[in-house]
Amino acid sequence: MATTVDFGDRILERKSAAGVWFATLWPAAALLGGGGAVALNASTSNVSLAATTFGIAGILLLFPLFLPGRVLRFYERGLTEQLPFKALRSIPYEDVEHMRWRAARPAVGVAVNVELLAAGRRIDFHAHVDTGGRFHRQLDSLRDHIARYVAARVQRQIRASQSFAWGQQRGASVRLRQEGIAYRPVGFLGAGDERLIPWGTPLDFAVRRGSFAAFPAGGTQALFSLACESPDFYPGFVLFTAMAQPREVA
């Protein structure tokens, strides 16, 4: 990984408190709070000391929120990660090997959890955004942008006769291969023998309520299905739509 490169225009920036501050200051706050409780219980004359100790402990609990934290910056061709006391890391998107993008809908907004794996290093971040808001749209655009880079890497891999796991490798156990899409049909007694759908076979697909399903053209019985939050779903979906050229159905 390079330390400094030109990745083009910035797309998005994400800042968060650094865990190193919580790991050092919060235990100290706990010790001070415990000391204050001991002082208060030992003698009523130690009330002022206990109050001071509790006050310092409270400051230590909040202080990490105001110290330099972790900064992720996403650009056109890569991202940078800045951590306290560490050199800037630059990661080209073409080095990203795997990605997982999960979006949950709590009572309000959307909770997004992202995991990227590049050269053995995991980069993750979390965000809670308003549904349909500007930041939400930016995140969706960034997701698709990175997915295209990972998909290009995967395409080179499968053209070199190396299969690629698409989604969770249980149940349908879908794999993208040079010959086509391999999957195991799931029935009442579990997953059956692996089947292959050659590239170019007419297919339909639908994405509903966070789940993807592939159908034979004009059919209603799904060949296989995947949760959109599955590992590498989005890069696999990019390849599926490009190489299979399927038709989306309502």
Residue 26, both tokens: 């919060």
- Identify the CA nearest to 81 among candidates 128, 114, 109: 114
Q: How far apart are alpha carbons 179 and 200 in whole angstroms?
A: 10
Which segments of the chain are extended strands (E)? 10-16, 70-75, 78-82, 89-92, 96-104, 110-118, 121-129, 164-165, 175-176, 180-183, 186-187, 190-191, 195-198, 203-208, 211-216, 224-227, 247-248
Q: So what's the pLDDT on residue 21?
A: 43
User: What is the chain's Cα-based Rg?
Assistant: 24
The pLDDT, as a whole number, for residue 60 is 47
pLDDT, tens digit, 9 for 90 and up, residues 48-60:
655 565 455 555 4
Question: Would you state the pLDDT for residue 26?
Answer: 42
Residue 156 is predicted with a pLDDT of 96
Residue 25 pLDDT: 44
With tokens 């955004």, the residue in question is 129
Break the chain into its structural domains and give their ranges: 19-66, 74-158, 163-248
Q: Which fold has domain 74-158?
A: PH-domain like (2.30.29)
Using the 8-state DSSP alphabet, how is residue 220 labeled? Answer: -
Q: Long-range contacts made by residues 202-207, C-beta under 8 angstroms, separation at least 24? A: 202/246, 202/247, 203/244, 203/246, 203/247, 204/246, 204/247, 204/248, 204/249, 205/240, 205/246, 205/247, 205/248, 205/249, 206/248, 206/249, 206/250, 207/248
The confidence score (pLDDT) of residue 24 equals: 54
Alpha helices in 2-46 (DSSP H): 19-42
For residue 230, give every residue at least 6 positions away whose Cβ sits within 8 Å of its Cβ, in sequence order, or none: 100, 166, 167, 168
Residues of the chain below pLDDT 70: 1-4, 17-68, 187-191
